[in-house]
RNA sequence: GGAGAAAUGGCAGAGUGGUCGAUCGCGGUAGUCUUGAAAACUAUUGACUGUAAUAGGUCCGGGGGUUCGAAUCCCUCUUUCUCCGCCA
Protein backbone atom coordinates (compact mmCIF):
# COMPACT_ATOMS: atom_id res chain seq x y z
CA UNK A 1 0.00 0.00 0.00
CA UNK A 2 1.35 3.40 -0.95
CA UNK A 3 1.53 6.13 1.66
CA UNK A 4 -1.18 8.72 1.30
CA UNK A 5 1.04 11.68 2.10
CA UNK A 6 3.48 10.64 -0.64
CA UNK A 7 0.67 10.43 -3.18
CA UNK A 8 -0.49 13.85 -2.06
CA UNK A 9 2.94 15.45 -2.31
CA UNK A 10 4.30 13.75 -5.45
CA UNK A 11 1.24 13.31 -7.61
CA UNK A 12 2.95 13.76 -10.99
CA UNK A 13 5.76 11.34 -10.33
CA UNK A 14 3.37 8.77 -8.90
CA UNK A 15 1.25 8.95 -12.03
CA UNK A 16 4.29 8.60 -14.26
CA UNK A 17 5.55 5.51 -12.48
CA UNK A 18 2.13 3.87 -12.20
CA UNK A 19 1.57 4.29 -15.90
CA UNK A 20 4.50 1.96 -16.48
CA UNK A 21 2.60 -0.70 -14.55
CA UNK A 22 -0.40 -0.18 -16.85
CA UNK A 23 -2.46 1.18 -14.03
CA UNK A 24 -5.47 3.43 -14.62
CA UNK A 25 -4.36 6.53 -12.80
CA UNK A 26 -7.74 8.28 -12.44
CA UNK A 27 -7.91 6.70 -9.01
CA UNK A 28 -5.11 8.99 -7.89
CA UNK A 29 -7.25 12.09 -8.39
CA UNK A 30 -10.13 10.44 -6.56
CA UNK A 31 -7.92 9.54 -3.62
CA UNK A 32 -6.51 13.03 -3.35
CA UNK A 33 -9.95 14.61 -3.49
CA UNK A 34 -11.50 12.29 -0.90
CA UNK A 35 -8.49 12.75 1.31
CA UNK A 36 -8.96 16.52 1.23
CA UNK A 37 -12.55 16.05 2.40
CA UNK A 38 -11.36 13.65 5.03
CA UNK A 39 -8.85 16.06 6.46
CA UNK A 40 -11.35 18.91 6.51
CA UNK A 41 -13.83 16.74 8.40
CA UNK A 42 -11.13 15.59 10.74
CA UNK A 43 -10.21 19.18 11.58
CA UNK A 44 -13.86 20.04 12.33
CA UNK A 45 -14.27 16.97 14.47
CA UNK A 46 -11.08 17.67 16.38
CA UNK A 47 -12.24 21.21 17.14
CA UNK A 48 -15.52 19.91 18.58
CA UNK A 49 -13.73 17.30 20.61
CA UNK A 50 -11.37 19.95 21.94
CA UNK A 51 -14.36 22.02 23.04
CA UNK A 52 -15.92 18.97 24.68
CA UNK A 53 -12.72 18.20 26.52
CA UNK A 54 -12.59 21.71 27.94
CA UNK A 55 -16.22 21.53 29.06
CA UNK A 56 -15.68 18.20 30.79
CA UNK A 57 -12.77 19.63 32.66
CA UNK A 58 -14.83 22.62 33.75
CA UNK A 59 -17.67 20.37 34.91
CA UNK A 60 -15.20 18.55 37.07
CA UNK A 61 -13.99 21.77 38.65
CA UNK A 62 -17.53 23.06 39.25
CA UNK A 63 -18.59 19.79 40.87
CA UNK A 64 -15.62 19.96 43.14
CA UNK A 65 -16.54 23.53 44.08
CA UNK A 66 -20.11 22.40 44.78
CA UNK A 67 -21.68 24.52 42.03
CA UNK A 68 -24.07 21.87 40.81
CA UNK A 69 -26.45 24.11 38.86
CA UNK A 70 -23.69 25.61 36.74
CA UNK A 71 -22.28 22.18 36.17
CA UNK A 72 -25.62 20.93 34.89
CA UNK A 73 -25.78 23.81 32.41
CA UNK A 74 -22.44 22.81 30.99
CA UNK A 75 -23.47 19.18 30.88
CA UNK A 76 -26.36 20.06 28.61
CA UNK A 77 -24.07 22.03 26.36
CA UNK A 78 -21.83 19.03 26.12
CA UNK A 79 -24.72 16.73 25.25
CA UNK A 80 -25.62 19.08 22.40
CA UNK A 81 -22.04 18.92 21.11
CA UNK A 82 -22.30 15.13 21.05
CA UNK A 83 -24.84 15.30 18.25
CA UNK A 84 -22.63 17.14 15.80
CA UNK A 85 -19.70 15.04 16.94
CA UNK A 86 -21.54 11.89 16.02
CA UNK A 87 -22.47 13.05 12.54
CA UNK A 88 -18.97 14.30 11.82
CA UNK A 89 -17.57 11.01 13.03
CA UNK A 90 -19.85 9.17 10.66
CA UNK A 91 -18.74 11.12 7.62
CA UNK A 92 -15.13 10.80 8.70
CA UNK A 93 -15.51 7.03 8.89
CA UNK A 94 -17.07 7.06 5.46
CA UNK A 95 -14.20 9.08 3.96
CA UNK A 96 -11.61 6.86 5.59
CA UNK A 97 -13.26 3.74 4.30
CA UNK A 98 -13.46 5.17 0.77
CA UNK A 99 -9.83 6.25 0.84
CA UNK A 100 -8.75 2.85 2.04
CA UNK A 101 -10.80 1.03 -0.59
CA UNK A 102 -9.05 3.06 -3.28
CA UNK A 103 -5.58 2.84 -1.76
CA UNK A 104 -5.60 -0.95 -1.73
CA UNK A 105 -6.29 -0.92 -5.45
CA UNK A 106 -3.12 1.02 -6.26
CA UNK A 107 -0.12 -1.19 -7.06
CA UNK A 108 3.42 -0.40 -6.07
CA UNK A 109 5.39 2.02 -8.22
CA UNK A 110 7.79 0.57 -10.75
CA UNK A 111 11.43 1.47 -10.27
CA UNK A 112 12.95 3.53 -13.07
CA UNK A 113 15.15 0.60 -14.15
CA UNK A 114 12.04 -1.47 -14.91
CA UNK A 115 11.45 -1.81 -18.67
CA UNK A 116 8.11 -0.71 -20.09
CA UNK A 117 5.91 -3.51 -21.37
CA UNK A 118 2.70 -5.40 -20.87
CA UNK A 119 3.40 -9.07 -21.49
CA UNK A 120 6.01 -11.64 -20.44
CA UNK A 121 7.54 -11.37 -23.93
CA UNK A 122 8.66 -7.86 -23.03
CA UNK A 123 10.68 -8.95 -20.02
CA UNK A 124 14.35 -8.20 -20.45
CA UNK A 125 16.83 -11.08 -20.38
CA UNK A 126 19.71 -9.68 -18.37
CA UNK A 127 21.82 -12.79 -17.89
CA UNK A 128 22.12 -16.32 -19.17
CA UNK A 129 24.37 -19.07 -17.97
CA UNK A 130 25.18 -22.63 -19.01
CA UNK A 131 24.86 -24.71 -22.15
CA UNK A 132 21.47 -25.96 -23.23
CA UNK A 133 21.96 -29.74 -23.06
CA UNK A 134 21.38 -31.66 -26.28
CA UNK A 135 19.48 -34.77 -25.28
CA UNK A 136 18.99 -37.83 -27.49
CA UNK A 137 15.77 -37.99 -29.46
CA UNK A 138 14.24 -40.49 -27.07
CA UNK A 139 14.81 -38.27 -24.01
CA UNK A 140 11.91 -38.37 -21.58
CA UNK A 141 10.08 -35.60 -19.74
CA UNK A 142 10.41 -35.79 -15.97
CA UNK A 143 6.99 -37.34 -15.37
CA UNK A 144 7.97 -40.34 -17.50
CA UNK A 145 11.32 -40.62 -15.74
CA UNK A 146 9.50 -40.39 -12.41
CA UNK A 147 7.39 -43.37 -13.25
CA UNK A 148 10.24 -45.32 -14.92
CA UNK A 149 12.34 -45.17 -11.73
CA UNK A 150 9.34 -45.19 -9.36
CA UNK A 151 10.17 -41.76 -7.95
CA UNK A 152 6.92 -39.83 -7.90
CA UNK A 153 3.39 -41.22 -7.73
CA UNK A 154 0.90 -38.67 -9.00
CA UNK A 155 -2.00 -41.17 -8.92
CA UNK A 156 -1.38 -41.98 -5.28
CA UNK A 157 -1.45 -38.29 -4.36
CA UNK A 158 -4.71 -38.05 -6.24
CA UNK A 159 -6.11 -40.88 -4.12
CA UNK A 160 -4.95 -39.43 -0.80
CA UNK A 161 -5.74 -35.79 -1.47
CA UNK A 162 -6.36 -34.77 -5.06
CA UNK A 163 -4.60 -33.54 -8.17
CA UNK A 164 -1.50 -31.47 -7.52
CA UNK A 165 -0.41 -33.32 -4.39
CA UNK A 166 2.19 -35.85 -5.56
CA UNK A 167 3.78 -38.52 -3.40
CA UNK A 168 7.59 -38.64 -3.58
CA UNK A 169 9.24 -41.96 -2.92
CA UNK A 170 12.66 -43.41 -2.17
CA UNK A 171 15.53 -41.58 -3.84
CA UNK A 172 13.21 -38.78 -4.95
CA UNK A 173 12.13 -38.09 -1.38
CA UNK A 174 15.77 -38.22 -0.38
CA UNK A 175 16.74 -35.86 -3.22
CA UNK A 176 14.19 -33.32 -2.06
CA UNK A 177 15.42 -33.55 1.51
CA UNK A 178 18.96 -33.11 0.18
CA UNK A 179 17.96 -29.99 -1.74
CA UNK A 180 16.28 -28.48 1.31
CA UNK A 181 19.36 -29.06 3.43
CA UNK A 182 21.67 -27.78 0.71
CA UNK A 183 19.65 -24.60 0.28
CA UNK A 184 19.41 -23.97 4.02
CA UNK A 185 23.10 -24.62 4.59
CA UNK A 186 24.04 -22.24 1.81
CA UNK A 187 21.70 -19.53 3.05
CA UNK A 188 22.97 -19.83 6.59
CA UNK A 189 26.55 -19.65 5.34
CA UNK A 190 25.64 -16.47 3.47
CA UNK A 191 24.46 -14.88 6.72
CA UNK A 192 20.75 -15.64 6.75
CA UNK A 193 19.16 -16.61 10.06
CA UNK A 194 17.17 -19.82 9.69
CA UNK A 195 13.54 -19.53 10.76
CA UNK A 196 10.99 -22.29 11.16
CA UNK A 197 7.70 -20.41 11.05
CA UNK A 198 4.10 -21.54 11.44
CA UNK A 199 2.57 -22.64 8.15
CA UNK A 200 -0.90 -21.50 9.13
CA UNK A 201 -1.45 -17.76 9.32
CA UNK A 202 -4.21 -15.48 10.53
CA UNK A 203 -5.96 -12.68 8.64
CA UNK A 204 -3.70 -9.93 10.00
CA UNK A 205 -0.65 -11.67 8.57
CA UNK A 206 -2.35 -12.26 5.23
CA UNK A 207 -3.13 -8.58 5.12
CA UNK A 208 0.37 -7.53 6.12
CA UNK A 209 2.05 -9.08 3.11
CA UNK A 210 -0.81 -8.31 0.74
CA UNK A 211 -2.47 -11.69 0.12
CA UNK A 212 -5.61 -10.34 1.75
CA UNK A 213 -8.11 -9.02 1.00
CA UNK A 214 -7.69 -9.40 -2.77
CA UNK A 215 -6.05 -12.76 -3.29
CA UNK A 216 -8.04 -14.71 -0.75
CA UNK A 217 -9.04 -17.27 -3.38
CA UNK A 218 -5.45 -18.30 -3.96
CA UNK A 219 -4.97 -19.58 -0.41
CA UNK A 220 -6.41 -22.63 1.30
CA UNK A 221 -8.61 -21.57 4.20
CA UNK A 222 -9.34 -23.51 7.38
CA UNK A 223 -12.83 -22.29 8.11
CA UNK A 224 -13.28 -23.60 11.65
CA UNK A 225 -10.32 -21.63 12.94
CA UNK A 226 -10.30 -18.92 10.27
CA UNK A 227 -6.66 -19.58 9.36
CA UNK A 228 -4.92 -19.83 5.98
CA UNK A 229 -2.27 -22.24 4.74
CA UNK A 230 0.74 -20.21 3.66
CA UNK A 231 1.38 -19.78 -0.08
CA UNK A 232 5.04 -19.02 0.73
CA UNK A 233 7.28 -18.64 3.78
CA UNK A 234 7.47 -14.95 2.90
CA UNK A 235 4.15 -14.46 4.68
CA UNK A 236 4.96 -15.76 8.19
CA UNK A 237 8.59 -14.63 8.09
CA UNK A 238 7.88 -11.08 6.96
CA UNK A 239 5.07 -10.83 9.50
CA UNK A 240 7.57 -11.44 12.28
CA UNK A 241 8.33 -7.77 11.80
CA UNK A 242 4.77 -6.47 11.72
CA UNK A 243 4.35 -3.48 14.06
CA UNK A 244 8.07 -3.43 14.81
CA UNK A 245 10.37 -0.42 15.03
CA UNK A 246 13.95 -1.48 14.28
CA UNK A 247 17.12 0.46 14.89
CA UNK A 248 19.02 1.54 11.78
CA UNK A 249 21.99 -0.55 12.93
CA UNK A 250 19.83 -3.69 12.86
CA UNK A 251 20.05 -3.68 9.05
CA UNK A 252 20.40 -5.80 7.10
CA UNK A 253 17.96 -8.26 8.64
CA UNK A 254 18.46 -11.54 6.77
CA UNK A 255 16.10 -14.47 7.34
CA UNK A 256 15.61 -17.72 5.50
CA UNK A 257 13.19 -20.54 6.01
CA UNK A 258 12.07 -23.83 4.58
CA UNK A 259 8.34 -24.49 4.45
CA UNK A 260 5.84 -26.38 2.41
CA UNK A 261 3.78 -23.96 0.34
CA UNK A 262 0.13 -24.31 -0.60
CA UNK A 263 -1.53 -22.71 -3.61
CA UNK A 264 -5.00 -23.29 -4.91
CA UNK A 265 -3.95 -22.13 -8.40
CA UNK A 266 -7.58 -21.97 -9.45
CA UNK A 267 -8.04 -21.89 -13.18
CA UNK A 268 -4.73 -23.42 -14.24
CA UNK A 269 -4.77 -26.15 -16.84
CA UNK A 270 -2.95 -27.73 -19.77
CA UNK A 271 0.67 -28.67 -20.28
CA UNK A 272 1.80 -25.96 -17.85
CA UNK A 273 0.49 -28.05 -14.98
CA UNK A 274 1.84 -31.39 -16.20
CA UNK A 275 4.04 -33.31 -13.78
CA UNK A 276 5.88 -31.08 -11.35
CA UNK A 277 5.37 -27.88 -13.30
CA UNK A 278 2.60 -26.55 -11.10
CA UNK A 279 1.42 -28.09 -7.84
CA UNK A 280 -0.95 -27.30 -5.00
CA UNK A 281 1.66 -28.27 -2.42
CA UNK A 282 5.39 -27.88 -2.87
CA UNK A 283 8.53 -27.21 -0.87
CA UNK A 284 10.53 -24.03 -0.98
CA UNK A 285 13.35 -22.27 0.83
CA UNK A 286 12.66 -18.56 0.95
CA UNK A 287 14.89 -15.58 1.67
CA UNK A 288 13.58 -12.42 3.33
CA UNK A 289 15.60 -9.28 3.89
CA UNK A 290 14.76 -5.99 5.54
CA UNK A 291 16.91 -3.15 4.36
CA UNK A 292 17.57 0.53 4.79
CA UNK A 293 15.85 2.39 1.92
CA UNK A 294 19.20 3.65 0.65
CA UNK A 295 20.54 0.09 0.42
CA UNK A 296 17.61 -1.97 -0.82
CA UNK A 297 18.66 -2.04 -4.47
CA UNK A 298 22.14 -3.20 -3.53
CA UNK A 299 20.46 -5.94 -1.53
CA UNK A 300 18.29 -6.88 -4.51
CA UNK A 301 21.40 -7.38 -6.68
CA UNK A 302 23.09 -9.31 -3.90
CA UNK A 303 20.10 -11.66 -3.63
CA UNK A 304 19.95 -12.13 -7.39
CA UNK A 305 23.59 -13.10 -7.47
CA UNK A 306 23.14 -15.40 -4.53
CA UNK A 307 20.36 -17.32 -6.31
CA UNK A 308 22.40 -17.43 -9.52
CA UNK A 309 25.22 -19.02 -7.53
CA UNK A 310 22.91 -21.82 -6.37
CA UNK A 311 21.83 -22.58 -9.92
CA UNK A 312 25.42 -22.62 -11.15
CA UNK A 313 26.34 -25.09 -8.44
CA UNK A 314 23.41 -27.28 -9.39
CA UNK A 315 24.83 -27.25 -12.96
CA UNK A 316 21.53 -26.07 -14.41
CA UNK A 317 21.36 -23.74 -17.41
CA UNK A 318 19.42 -20.67 -16.44
CA UNK A 319 18.56 -17.14 -17.40
CA UNK A 320 17.66 -14.07 -15.40
CA UNK A 321 14.82 -11.83 -16.48
CA UNK A 322 14.17 -8.29 -15.39
CA UNK A 323 10.39 -8.21 -15.43
CA UNK A 324 8.66 -5.47 -17.38
CA UNK A 325 6.12 -3.23 -15.67
CA UNK A 326 3.12 -5.20 -16.89
CA UNK A 327 4.41 -8.60 -15.74
CA UNK A 328 5.44 -7.55 -12.24
CA UNK A 329 3.39 -8.42 -9.22
CA UNK A 330 1.11 -5.89 -7.59
CA UNK A 331 3.38 -5.24 -4.61
CA UNK A 332 6.77 -5.25 -6.31
CA UNK A 333 8.87 -2.26 -7.35
CA UNK A 334 11.36 -4.39 -9.25
CA UNK A 335 11.56 -8.14 -9.82
CA UNK A 336 14.06 -10.57 -11.27
CA UNK A 337 12.80 -13.98 -12.30
CA UNK A 338 15.23 -16.87 -12.58
CA UNK A 339 14.33 -19.62 -15.03
CA UNK A 340 16.03 -22.98 -15.54
CA UNK A 341 15.91 -24.82 -18.84
CA UNK A 342 14.18 -28.16 -18.58
CA UNK A 343 15.72 -29.92 -21.55
CA UNK A 344 13.21 -32.64 -22.39
CA UNK A 345 10.18 -30.37 -22.15
CA UNK A 346 12.31 -27.74 -23.90
CA UNK A 347 10.84 -25.14 -21.56
CA UNK A 348 12.13 -22.39 -19.33
CA UNK A 349 10.71 -22.93 -15.83
CA UNK A 350 10.56 -20.17 -13.25
CA UNK A 351 12.29 -21.37 -10.10
CA UNK A 352 12.87 -18.10 -8.30
CA UNK A 353 11.48 -14.61 -8.15
CA UNK A 354 13.50 -11.97 -6.35
CA UNK A 355 11.75 -8.71 -5.56
CA UNK A 356 12.22 -5.39 -3.89
CA UNK A 357 8.94 -4.16 -2.42
CA UNK A 358 10.48 -0.93 -1.17
CA UNK A 359 8.10 0.37 1.53
CA UNK A 360 4.92 -1.05 -0.03
CA UNK A 361 4.66 -4.02 2.32
CA UNK A 362 6.26 -2.15 5.20
CA UNK A 363 3.46 0.41 5.11
CA UNK A 364 0.86 -2.28 5.64
CA UNK A 365 3.03 -4.07 8.17
CA UNK A 366 3.90 -0.87 10.03
CA UNK A 367 7.47 -2.07 9.81
CA UNK A 368 9.68 0.88 10.60
CA UNK A 369 13.15 1.77 11.75
CA UNK A 370 14.64 4.66 13.63
CA UNK A 371 17.80 6.48 12.69
CA UNK A 372 19.34 7.82 15.90
CA UNK A 373 16.71 9.98 17.55
CA UNK A 374 14.77 10.79 14.39
CA UNK A 375 11.17 9.83 13.81
CA UNK A 376 10.57 6.27 12.67
CA UNK A 377 10.39 5.72 8.91
CA UNK A 378 9.32 2.75 6.82
CA UNK A 379 11.86 0.03 6.09
CA UNK A 380 12.23 -1.71 2.75
CA UNK A 381 11.37 -5.40 2.39
CA UNK A 382 12.76 -7.86 -0.14
CA UNK A 383 12.32 -11.52 -0.74
CA UNK A 384 13.32 -14.28 -3.10
CA UNK A 385 12.95 -17.99 -3.54
CA UNK A 386 16.16 -19.90 -3.00
CA UNK A 387 14.75 -22.12 -4.31
CA UNK A 388 11.41 -23.73 -5.17
CA UNK A 389 11.94 -27.47 -5.37
CA UNK A 390 9.59 -29.07 -7.90
CA UNK A 391 10.81 -27.34 -11.02
CA UNK A 392 14.42 -27.72 -9.93
CA UNK A 393 13.69 -31.43 -9.63
CA UNK A 394 12.04 -31.48 -13.04
CA UNK A 395 15.11 -29.92 -14.63
CA UNK A 396 17.53 -32.14 -12.69
CA UNK A 397 15.71 -35.29 -13.82
CA UNK A 398 15.40 -34.25 -17.43
CA UNK A 399 18.80 -32.65 -17.98
CA UNK A 400 20.80 -35.32 -16.19
CA UNK A 401 19.16 -38.41 -17.68
CA UNK A 402 21.57 -40.96 -19.16
CA UNK A 403 21.08 -44.52 -20.40
CA UNK A 404 22.39 -45.68 -17.00
CA UNK A 405 20.18 -43.50 -14.86
CA UNK A 406 19.89 -39.96 -13.57
CA UNK A 407 23.14 -38.31 -12.55
CA UNK A 408 23.15 -36.29 -9.30
CA UNK A 409 25.12 -33.01 -9.39
CA UNK A 410 28.37 -33.12 -7.46
CA UNK A 411 27.32 -30.53 -4.93
CA UNK A 412 24.34 -32.61 -3.75
CA UNK A 413 26.06 -35.98 -3.40
CA UNK A 414 27.13 -35.51 0.19
CA UNK A 415 23.48 -34.74 0.96
CA UNK A 416 21.87 -37.54 -1.04
CA UNK A 417 24.39 -40.22 -0.24
CA UNK A 418 24.12 -41.51 -3.84
CA UNK A 419 25.34 -40.20 -7.18
CA UNK A 420 22.88 -41.80 -9.54
CA UNK A 421 19.20 -42.70 -9.61
CA UNK A 422 18.69 -45.97 -11.48
C1' G B 1 -11.41 -29.28 27.82
C1' G B 2 -12.54 -27.33 33.38
C1' A B 3 -11.38 -23.56 37.47
C1' G B 4 -8.95 -19.09 38.89
C1' A B 5 -5.66 -14.62 38.09
C1' A B 6 -3.78 -11.05 34.90
C1' A B 7 -2.84 -7.69 30.33
C1' U B 8 -0.38 -0.07 31.40
C1' G B 9 5.16 3.52 27.63
C1' G B 10 12.06 0.02 25.34
C1' C B 11 12.02 -2.90 30.31
C1' A B 12 10.12 -3.01 35.35
C1' G B 13 5.94 -1.27 37.81
C1' A B 14 2.18 2.61 40.35
C1' G B 15 -2.45 4.30 39.25
C1' U B 16 -10.17 1.84 40.92
C1' G B 17 -14.43 7.89 37.57
C1' G B 18 -12.23 14.57 37.00
C1' U B 19 -5.29 19.01 35.17
C1' C B 20 -3.29 11.00 33.78
C1' G B 21 -0.34 10.56 27.92
C1' A B 22 -0.14 8.60 32.62
C1' U B 23 4.17 8.59 39.55
C1' C B 24 8.89 6.32 40.51
C1' G B 25 12.90 3.26 38.91
C1' C B 26 16.00 1.04 35.00
C1' G B 27 17.45 1.77 30.08
C1' G B 28 18.20 5.68 25.99
C1' U B 29 19.69 10.82 24.62
C1' A B 30 21.96 15.64 25.81
C1' G B 31 24.65 18.51 29.29
C1' U B 32 27.72 19.60 33.94
C1' C B 33 32.09 17.72 36.28
C1' U B 34 36.78 15.08 34.05
C1' U B 35 42.86 15.09 30.06
C1' G B 36 39.36 11.03 28.65
C1' A B 37 36.07 7.42 30.67
C1' A B 38 33.23 5.72 34.82
C1' A B 39 30.49 7.48 38.91
C1' A B 40 27.56 11.49 40.52
C1' C B 41 24.33 15.49 39.33
C1' U B 42 20.86 18.17 35.84
C1' A B 43 17.61 18.07 31.86
C1' U B 44 15.27 15.28 28.30
C1' U B 45 13.11 10.75 26.53
C1' G B 46 6.37 6.77 23.22
C1' A B 47 3.35 6.20 18.74
C1' C B 48 -0.31 7.90 15.22
C1' U B 49 -2.73 12.12 13.14
C1' G B 50 -2.53 17.15 12.06
C1' U B 51 -0.56 22.56 10.98
C1' A B 52 3.34 26.98 7.06
C1' A B 53 4.61 26.73 12.19
C1' U B 54 2.07 26.63 16.71
C1' A B 55 -2.28 24.52 18.38
C1' G B 56 -5.60 20.57 18.37
C1' G B 57 -7.17 15.27 18.17
C1' U B 58 -6.40 9.78 19.10
C1' C B 59 -3.94 5.68 21.62
C1' C B 60 -3.23 2.26 28.92
C1' G B 61 -4.30 -6.07 24.94
C1' G B 62 -8.67 -5.78 20.63
C1' G B 63 -13.87 -4.40 19.89
C1' G B 64 -18.42 -2.38 21.97
C1' G B 65 -21.16 0.19 26.03
C1' U B 66 -22.33 3.55 30.50
C1' U B 67 -21.00 8.89 31.71
C1' C B 68 -20.59 15.86 30.87
C1' G B 69 -15.86 13.06 31.77
C1' A B 70 -12.87 6.12 31.81
C1' A B 71 -6.41 3.38 32.25
C1' U B 72 -10.15 3.25 36.26
C1' C B 73 -17.25 0.87 35.80
C1' C B 74 -20.11 -2.84 32.41
C1' C B 75 -20.25 -6.46 28.12
C1' U B 76 -17.41 -9.26 24.69
C1' C B 77 -13.15 -11.28 22.24
C1' U B 78 -7.95 -12.45 22.33
C1' U B 79 -3.54 -13.58 24.79
C1' U B 80 -0.52 -14.88 29.08
C1' C B 81 0.15 -17.17 33.93
C1' U B 82 -1.34 -20.85 37.97
C1' C B 83 -4.04 -25.44 39.18
C1' C B 84 -6.73 -29.87 37.18
C1' G B 85 -7.72 -33.15 32.94
C1' C B 86 -6.00 -35.09 28.19
C1' C B 87 -1.93 -35.86 24.88
C1' A B 88 3.06 -36.30 20.72
| Same structural domain, A378 and A328 | yes
DSSP A312-359: HHTT--EEEEE--GGGS-TT-SEEEEEEEEETTTTEEEEEEEEEE-TT
Predicted ipTM > 0.85: no
The pLDDT of residue A339: 95
Residue A286 forms part of a structural domain: yes
The pLDDT of residue A268: 63
Closest-approach nucleotide to residue A60, Cα vs C1': B18
Closest-approach nucleotide to residue A72, Cα vs C1': B68
CB proximity A90–strand B (7 Å threshold): no
Instruction: Kindly calculate the radius of gyration of chain A based on its CA atoms and give it in whole angstroms.
Output: 27
Q: Choose among A390, A344, A343: nearest CA to A152.
A: A390
CA dist list (Å): A67 to A51, A58, A63, A242 = 21, 11, 6, 51
Question: What phi, psi does A68 have (nearest 5°)?
Answer: -65, -40
Per-residue pLDDT of chain A (422 residues), as tens digits, is 888 888 888 888 888 888 888 888 888 889 989 988 999 999 998 999 988 888 888 888 888 777 777 888 888 888 888 888 888 888 888 888 888 888 888 899 999 999 998 888 899 998 989 888 888 888 889 999 999 999 999 999 999 998 899 999 999 999 999 999 999 999 999 999 999 998 989 888 888 888 877 788 889 988 777 889 999 999 999 999 988 888 888 889 999 999 999 998 765 666 677 888 889 999 999 999 999 999 999 999 999 999 999 999 999 999 999 999 999 998 999 999 999 999 999 999 999 999 999 999 999 888 999 887 788 889 999 999 999 999 999 999 999 999 999 999 999 999 999 999 98
Q: Choose among A241, A226, A350: nearest CA to A288.
A: A241
Separation CA A226–CA A368 (nearest Å)? 28
* List of A residues 199-258 with CB within 7 A of strand B: 245
The pLDDT of residue A305: 96
| Same structural domain, A76 and A182 | no
Q: Which of A75, A103, A131 is the last residue of a domain?
A: A103
| Same structural domain, A153 and A241 | yes
| Same structural domain, A244 and A354 | yes
Residue A275 forms part of a structural domain: yes
The pLDDT of residue A171: 95
Contacts of A318 (CB under 8 A, 6+ apart): A128, A129, A130, A308, A311, A338, A339, A340, A341, A351
* List of A residues 39-58 with CB within 7 A of strand B: 39, 42-43, 45-47, 49-50, 52-53, 55-57
| Same structural domain, A356 and A310 | yes
CB proximity A86–strand B (7 Å threshold): no
Residue A407 forms part of a structural domain: yes
CA A93 to chain centre: 29
| Same structural domain, A248 and A279 | yes
The pLDDT of residue A265: 76
Residue A114 forms part of a structural domain: no
Residue A110 forms part of a structural domain: no
Residue-number span of the structural domain to which A64 is assigned:
4-103
Residues A52 and A81: beta-carbon distance below 8 Å: yes
What are the b/e assignments for A325-349, b being 16+ CB within 10 Å?
bbbbeebbbbbbbbbbbbbbbebbb
The pLDDT of residue A142: 92
Residues A338 and A320: beta-carbon distance below 8 Å: yes
Q: Which of A52, A69, A103 is the last residue of a domain?
A: A103
For chain A, the domain total comes to 2
| Same structural domain, A136 and A71 | no
Contacts of A293 (CB under 8 A, 6+ apart): A358, A359, A377, A378, A379, A380
pLDDT tens-digit map of A52-91:
888 888 888 888 777 777 888 888 888 888 888 888 888 8
CA→C1' distance for A363 and B82 (Å): 39
CA→C1' distance for A182 and B67 (Å): 64
| Same structural domain, A257 and A380 | yes
Residue A390 forms part of a structural domain: yes
Residue A406 forms part of a structural domain: yes
Residue A66, SS3 per DSSP: coil
Q: Which of A103, A138, A168 is the last residue of a domain?
A: A103
| Same structural domain, A94 and A132 | no
Residues A113 and A322: beta-carbon distance below 8 Å: yes
Task: Assign residue A366 the CATH number of its domain.
Answer: 3.30.930.10
Strand partners, A286: A257, A385
CB proximity A82–strand B (7 Å threshold): yes
Task: Assign residue A34 the CATH number of its domain.
Answer: 1.10.287.40
| Same structural domain, A96 and A130 | no
Closest-approach nucleotide to residue A376, Cα vs C1': B47
Residue A112 forms part of a structural domain: no
Separation CA A376–CA A246 (nearest Å)? 9
Residue A168, SS3 per DSSP: strand
Residues A129 and A311: beta-carbon distance below 8 Å: yes
The pLDDT of residue A84: 83
| Same structural domain, A157 and A270 | yes
| Same structural domain, A124 and A12 | no
| Positive or negative: CA dihedral A47, A52, A53, A57 | positive
pLDDT tens-digit map of A133-185:
888 888 889 999 999 999 999 999 999 998 899 999 999 999 999 999 999 99
Amino acid sequence: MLQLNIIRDNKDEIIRRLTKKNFKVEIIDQVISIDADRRKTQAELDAIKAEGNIISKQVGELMKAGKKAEADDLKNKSIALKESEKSLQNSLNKFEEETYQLLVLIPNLANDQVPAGKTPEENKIVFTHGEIPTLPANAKPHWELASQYDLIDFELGNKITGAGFPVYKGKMARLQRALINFFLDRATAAGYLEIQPPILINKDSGFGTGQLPDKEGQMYHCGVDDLYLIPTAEVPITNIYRDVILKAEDFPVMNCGYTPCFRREAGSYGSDVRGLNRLHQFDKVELVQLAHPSKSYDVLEQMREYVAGLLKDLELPFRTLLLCGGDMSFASAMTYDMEVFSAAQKKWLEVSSVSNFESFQANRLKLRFREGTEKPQLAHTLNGSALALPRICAALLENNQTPDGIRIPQVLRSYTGFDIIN
